[in-house]
Amino acid sequence: MPISHKIETIIKNYEYRNGIIYFDNNATTKIAPEVLYEMLPYLVSNYGNPSSLYKFSNEVLNKMNESREKVADLLNCSSDEIIFTSCGSESNNSAILSALQTNPNKRHIITTEVEHPAIKNPLTHLKEKGYKVTSLNVDNKGQLDIQQLEDSITDNTALISIMYANNETGVIFDIPKISEIARNKGVLFHTDAVQAVGKIPIDLQKLPVDFLSLSGHKIHAPKGVGALFVRNNIKFSSFLKGGHQENGRRAGTENVTSIIGLGKAAELSKKNLVTVNNQIKILRDELENNLLDTIPDIQINGDLENRLSNTSNISFKYVEGESILFMLDKNNICISTGSACSSHSLEPSHVLKAMKIQSIFLNGSIRISLSRYTTKDEIKIASETIPKIIYRLRQLSPFCS
């Protein structure tokens, strides 16, 4: 079979997922068909380097800048405030290091205990290099004490970096209020908004945020592309040094096709922002209510009033998360867990631990995260499967009579 036919076959099977119910959309998401459609010509025939001068490349450059406009439009900022990067982690590292390099006299950073490793680990590294890092506690709902934040700010504080929404629990922090405090105290503010972008409205004209990170593959664009918003009047020092790309702020030939995909994904996210996220919330609430009705000794973790509409973090007493994961996997349902046994370090979720969730609930926690592709049918199947699995595992458990 000629290669072009083989490619055609793959595209034809685009919707084919082998019966998999994908409930792990905070880990990654499916590439939207509209996104793939937009990308394909640039993978196939329009392969010019956007830095070249001839018209074959100009068209690519224009398309890439169109993407920049679309991302800016989603966040309501100016397109020259958007730098394309390779991922959320790169955006986070760039923001942190730039804030420190442009404020060499200040050596204190404020963050939270529940950040993603893409913030947590760079900050641990900086701590070893002599920076002072304050990690704010959360309460048992996963919320911050704003007063504690305010009290932690000193003249030595270079940066406050606080996530917009938590990847494990979906808990949304009060970023409007927090960024206002940072602005009033004259401290740079960065937010890792990888989970929030596309799920809640973000208006950077109103929000006094200086840096914001986002990731393509969380909003139905491909993996390997992200963006960093840097407010126009903020000094920026580049992380990746080399060529003049991205206005000299991020070297390396641009990941053109993925950037084009991210642009389309941002456009779709804006279009779907309110209506679709409301529909996802209805499905999420239906699943939670079904599980609460059918399974005893269960709790939903997090601040239920301030939570992403697609995320549910649920704990089951007497059973362990990894065994739930593999039982669900056998039933073609993909979820993740915060149990100690499932992690590569044998440490339970630092987020649930920071929330002081009791160990019997902590080790039996799973995260379900939906997307706009989740169907009512899938919710029905999961609502029937999960109680059976919990019942079966509880039968095996010596703690459950």
Partner 1 sequence: MYNDKVMNCFFNPKHAGVIENYSARGFTGSIECGDAMEITLKIDEREVITNAKFRAYGCTAAIASSEAIITLILGKTISEAENIRNSDIVNYLNGLPDLKLHCSVLGQDVLKDAICNYRKIDNKSEENEVICKCNNIKRKNIENLIIDKRIFSYRELQKLTNVGTICGKCENRVYAILSMAIEKENEILNLENK
Q: SS3 sequence, 46-96?
A: CCCCCCCCCHHHHHHHHHHHHHHHHHHHHHCCCHHHEEEECCHHHHHHHHH
Reduce the DSSP state of residue 23 to 3 states and report it: coil
Q: Which is nearer to partner 1, 292 or 396 (CB)?
A: 396
User: Can you give the C-alpha Rg of the chain in angstroms?
Assistant: 22
Q: Which is nearer to partner 1, 308 or 325 (CB)?
A: 325
- Give the active site residue among 77, 87, 334, 341: 341
What is the smallest separation between the CB atom of 132 and partner 1, expressed in angstroms? Answer: 33
The per-residue b/e assignment along 269-289, b for 16 or more CB within 10 angstroms, e otherwise, is bbebbeebbebbeebbeebbe
Q: Which is nearer to partner 1, 108 or 317 (CB)?
A: 317
The answer to whether 241 and 277 have CB atoms below 8 angstroms apart is no
What is the smallest separation between the CB atom of 135 and partner 1, expressed in angstroms? Answer: 24
What is the smallest separation between the CB atom of 343 and partner 1, expressed in angstroms? Answer: 9
What is the smallest separation between the CB atom of 214 and partner 1, expressed in angstroms? Answer: 30
What is the smallest separation between the CB atom of 392 and partner 1, expressed in angstroms? Answer: 9
**Number of C-beta neighbours around residue 248 at 10 A:** 12
Relative to beta strand 157-161, strand 108-112 is parallel
Residue of 200, 218, 308 whose CA lies nearest to 31: 218
Active site residue 77: no
What is the smallest separation between the CB atom of 117 and partner 1, expressed in angstroms? Answer: 18
Q: Which is nearer to partner 1, 116 or 394 (CB)?
A: 394
Q: Which is nearer to partner 1, 254 or 320 (CB)?
A: 320
Sheet holding 226-230, edge to edge: 82-85, 226-230, 211-215, 188-192, 157-161, 108-112, 132-136
Q: Which is nearer to partner 1, 233 or 395 (CB)?
A: 395
Catalog residues that contact partner 1 under the rule CB under 8 A: 317-320, 322-323, 326-327, 330, 339-342, 344, 346, 348, 358-360, 363, 395-399
Element (H, E) at 125: helix 117-128
- Concatenating the DSSP letter of every residue in 237-250 gives --SS-SSSHHHHTS
Sheet holding 336-337, edge to edge: 298-300, 311-316, 365-369, 336-337
Residue of 395, 397, 315 whose CA lies nearest to 363: 315
Residues in the chain: 401
List, by residue number, the catalytic residues: 341
